Amino acid sequence: MSKQLLIARVKIITMIDGERVEIPAGDPLPENLNEHDIRELKKLRAIEDVAESANAEKDSAKAAAVAGKAFTAARQAVQAAAESIKVSDAETPPGGESDKTDTTGSAGAAGGVGGADLKGAAAPKRQAAATKKKEG
């Protein structure tokens, strides 16, 4: 058996060298425990391998660092994109129109305030043209 530190997570009752042995939770397992028993206790999560836990924590920390870097890069990209389309906060020049772009989507948008009337006089002309295409 390889040298490993195994800690009981729960009270374990087992047979070692023909004797019943009770191992309280939190205590290390004896060195002479059968490999089969160790495998089965690991499957049940009744014991913890300290070395495996340390490696898992290191891997988790590395993954968190990578995720943090990816998040920071994505955040900076979103901020740069938002900055590139940011509307100027400058006030309207005296006696003139504002240079600001309408970001509300209402001015000039179909159906909005001052928008195009899609059901106006042009609609019958479009409908007649579409009918001619179908017939022809």
- Give the tens place of pLDDT for each residue, 14-71: 888 889 999 999 899 988 888 898 889 989 888 888 877 777 778 788 888 889 899 9
Q: What are the domain boundaries of the chain?
A: 6-52
Of the candidates 88, 66, 87, 84, which has an alpha carbon nearest to the alpha carbon of residue 76?
84
Can you tell me the distance from the alpha carbon of 73 to that of 79, in angstroms, rounded to the nearest whole number?
Answer: 10
- Give the tens place of pLDDT for each residue, 78-136: 988 888 888 776 665 666 555 555 555 555 545 555 555 555 565 666 666 767 766 65
Angstrom distances, CA of residue 124 to CA of 110, 115, 130, 134: 18, 19, 10, 15
Band of pLDDT at residue 1, cut at 50, 70 and 90: very low
Q: What is the pLDDT of residue 74?
A: 92
